[in-house]
Homo-oligomer: A and B are copies of this chain.
């Protein structure tokens, strides 16, 4: 029986998603938990995420003798890694190649950005372009199609949402750097547009990984969250939100006091 699992993880707790000997990785932990419950074959992931990158919905597929409830797997996992849903999929299912599109979200602290300019930059990135200046990958086909790129202000943060069929290595983080530069007035829309033309060399650095989330991988079916797990994780994240808000307020108040 082939199963697909939708998985949350806090990227700061792992050494990346991909299996590595002697490192705590998302795949390594998940495989260990699954294997303690039965034989696991043909384990595949929808996509690697770099060290410190989180996911609300990465997807893994594997063959097992029986369908497992997420709770049974979660009981064998650390709290930074949660299986939200498990469902049966066709025997040939591959979470990477069968994905319709992926959504990433980057949470960018608002330095006082020009949100109008950021939105124009987002619009400009939509569609099919050569992203050779926005990746660490080399010697590949750099053409990708971005279905939508949006920016939304939420309190102190601007949330960038990238929806695309597939992404190059570090593409979202490098696009985020460029968008932030536009928001700061350091990069013109014309220069950004030019960097998307084949043959133009203008590399952008990668924004830090810890503010990036692989939000969703979409298929021609839906995942249904296990209610118990989603509820518990939601509460755990709400508590984390409260604690981080208070810690942020401490840092902000101290910084202001020292500036005098």
Q: Which residues of B sit under 8 angstroms from A234, Cβ to Cβ?
A: 254-255, 258-259
Interface of A is mostly: helix
Q: Which residues of B sit under 8 angstroms from A253, Cβ to Cβ?
A: 105, 107, 154, 159
A154, B234: Cα distance in complex, Å: 24
How many Å from the CB of A55 to the closest CB on chain B? 10
Q: Which residues of B sit under 8 angstroms from A107, Cβ to Cβ?
A: 246-247, 249-250, 253
- A75 on interface, CB distance cutoff 8 Å: no
How many Å from the CB of A136 to the closest CB on chain B? 22
- A156 on interface, CB distance cutoff 8 Å: yes
- A125 on interface, CB distance cutoff 8 Å: no
How many Å from the CB of A107 to the closest CB on chain B? 4
> Closest residue of chain B to A213, judged by CB?
B250
Q: Are B247 and A244 in contact (CB under 8 A)?
A: yes
Q: Which residues of B sit under 8 angstroms from A248, Cβ to Cβ?
A: 240-241, 244-245, 248
Q: Which residues of B sit under 8 angstroms from A109, Cβ to Cβ?
A: 242-243, 245-246
Q: Which of B215, B245, B254, B258 sits near A157, CB closer than 8 Å?
A: B245
> Closest residue of chain B to A105, judged by CB?
B253
Q: Which residues of B sit under 8 angstroms from A8, Cβ to Cβ?
A: 254
Q: Which of B156, B211, B243, B260 sits near A250, CB closer than 8 Å?
A: B211
Q: Are A254 and B242 in contact (CB under 8 A)?
A: no
Q: Are B255 and A251 in contact (CB under 8 A)?
A: no
Q: Which residues of B sit under 8 angstroms from A252, Cβ to Cβ?
A: 237-238, 241
Q: Which residues of B sit under 8 angstroms from A249, Cβ to Cβ?
A: 107, 154-157, 159
How many Å from the CB of A10 to the closest CB on chain B? 9
- A77 on interface, CB distance cutoff 8 Å: no
- A186 on interface, CB distance cutoff 8 Å: no
How many Å from the CB of A104 to the closest CB on chain B? 12
How many Å from the CB of A130 to the closest CB on chain B? 30
Q: Are B257 and A251 in contact (CB under 8 A)?
A: no
> Closest residue of chain B to A244, judged by CB?
B248
- A210 on interface, CB distance cutoff 8 Å: yes
CB within 8 Å of B: which of A105-127? 105, 107-109, 111
What is the 8 Å Cβ interface bit string for chain A, positions 77-114, against chain B (1 contact, 0 not)? 00000001000000000000000000001011101000
- A24 on interface, CB distance cutoff 8 Å: no
Q: Are A156 and B245 in contact (CB under 8 A)?
A: yes
Q: Are A237 and B251 in contact (CB under 8 A)?
A: yes
- A33 on interface, CB distance cutoff 8 Å: no
